[in-house]
Amino acid sequence: GCVLVVSVIEQLAQWHNSTVKAAMERLCDYIPGKYQIMRCVPCCIDREMNADVVCHSLRLCKQDPGQPLCHLYSPPKLHHLCELMHPSTFIFLPLQKSFMGFSSVCAFPLLANLCEKIKYVLRNKLPFEDFDGDKFSTFPTLRGYHWRGRDCNDKNTTVYPGRRPDNWDAKSDSNCNGIWGVDPKDGIPYEEKFCKGADSKGVVLLGDSAGAHFHIPPEWMTVTQMSAKSFANLPMAFSDELDWPQFSEITGFLNSTIGGWTDSLYLRLRKRNRCNHRDLQNISQNGMRGRLIQEIRSGLARNQLLDNPAIVIYATIGNDVCNGERDTLAHMTTPKEMLSNVVQALRYLDSHLPNGSHVILTGLVDGRFLWDNLHDRYHPLGQLNKDVTYSQLYSFLDCLQVSPCSGWLTPNETLRNLTSERALQLSNVLKEIARSEKFTNFDIFYMDFPLRQTAEEWRKMGGEPWQLIEPVDGFHPSQIAAALGTGITWQKALHEWPQVLGKENPFNDQIEAIFKDQGGY
């Protein structure tokens, strides 16, 4: 955190040809009021001192005995480093106090309430604002309707997206799809006329940070693009855990504001059958591994007797082989553990999903794609001075033992290959589960993560492979990758598992004509 903020301050000073103090004031002015956890203070940062030197000098970064000195930038000469790191070089106590606050943001009174809310949703995977306790909300963030269909009556626990209509919704909209009332021409409820026998079904994602669609806006740290507008989405981003499920590959439903475009399995199901409106749930979490049973128990909202069937996508595409440990191979999920974890979760789903549901197991990604396409490119922090590549970023994070994936984000080709080998073993476990296991209330399918096909499709469109990766973390699929992946998954399902997608509703146009003003998100 210190290295990031000091880097941005130094680059702002350089770009605007200003003092460091003026740059700090500028950054504070950009950030929305209550998120200004580090208010500008007098300080001295010599132009010769990079962010690593400053942060080590402030004693916010440390070098453990026997461990390497972690640095993002090329280190200065040793004697110069020692000279710069001497306490007499700095007026640093106020700045250090500010940064200590930065490292414990929940201590700030204005942010304490938000922190408590975020802790609640992280624990429970449920909306913070949910007055009737049906696991659906009218509030967008804090696991609200950005993550699952928007509730249309948050004072009635029997009204929520995905349920079968109550008395064909003749008097009110019990399933929040915007279709209710009676046709005055013949007295038949619209829901019965348009949705009966339409094979309505929702979509549920059980995933990790890729499924939640983790994204840090590059304009937050690219000073040449930085303005107050750059940080306008910061409150929403924090309240959504730096995830953007509303634009994601499986449950996205809003037009993307983070580049690319939005295409999702949910949107395509809705277009195929307008009765599916709002029937979506994204039960994903940053850092989630194959052991999802607790998240499913607390987060899944599906009544086996009252609700429509669901398409459940089980996609933990990397975290079972990804960790920041020095002995990363020893901390990867084993095939035996994967088998046990997934089968346990599937048995729970079988006891809770309505009959006629479907489960799709998604294989792990081959993450060698990351190093191959990014390692020698400049990170957003390094674009101004051409001084930080993704290789340097990966090494810095690995040194700090906070790498999102030590096995793939490394110059060690042998380790990258071993990580991909384990990922393939775990994918084969999923493939075998789909082949051999049988369940009462759903059928089960397997598909490889479509990275290769996505890259090929993007090349045909004139794109470069590196554009399929999130620019700030250099790890997650980008918005473009998410949208392209949707099309590939959809085509596979159409050709190989048409029963999963259900029938096309012949009344879609009529529904839109009558209820166009009642289908808002």
Which are the catalytic amino acids?
A: 209
303: Cβ contacts below 8 Å, ≥ 6 apart: 163, 354
**What distances in angstroms separate CA 284 from CA 52, 120, 199, 243, 313, one per listed residue?**
34, 15, 26, 10, 11
Q: What is the 8-class DSSP label of residue 40? A: -
Q: Report the alpha-carbon distance of residue 166 to residue 306 in Å, rounded.
A: 9
Q: Whole-angstrom Cα distance, residue 456 to residue 474?
A: 20
Contact 28/36 with Cβ under 8 angstroms? yes
Sign of CA dihedral 73, 79, 82, 87: negative
Looking at the DSSP assignment, which residues form a beta bridge with residue 283? 206
**The pair of three-digit structure tokens given for residue 246, joined into one six-digit string:** 């509303």
What is the number of other CB atoms lying within 10 angstroms of the CB of residue 495? 8
Token couple for 31? 């950030």
In angstroms, the CA 137 to CA 131 distance is: 8
Report helix, strand or coil for 82. helix
β-bridge mates for residue 182, sequence order: 189
Task: Give the type of residue at 496.
Answer: E
Q: Residue for token digits 């005055």?
A: 184
Give the 3-state DSSP-derived string for 42-65, with helices as H, strands as E and coil as C. CCCCCCCCCHHHHHHHCCCCCCCC
Q: Which two tokens stand for residue 382?
A: 């390094």
Which residue bears the tokens 């990867």?
332
Q: Read off the tokens for 494.
A: 């159409």
CA-CA distance, 194 to 505, in Å (whole number)?
Answer: 8
Q: What is the DSSP letter of 443?
A: E
**How far is Cα 327 from Cα 280, in angstroms, rounded to an integer?**
38
**Nearest Cα to Cα of residue 7 among 88, 82, 71:** 71
Residue whose structure tokens are 């994903």: 284
CA–CA dist 214, 241 (Å, integer): 8
Residue of 49, 101, 39, 104 lying closest to 80 (CA atoms): 49
- CA pair distance 343, 505, nearest whole angstrom: 34
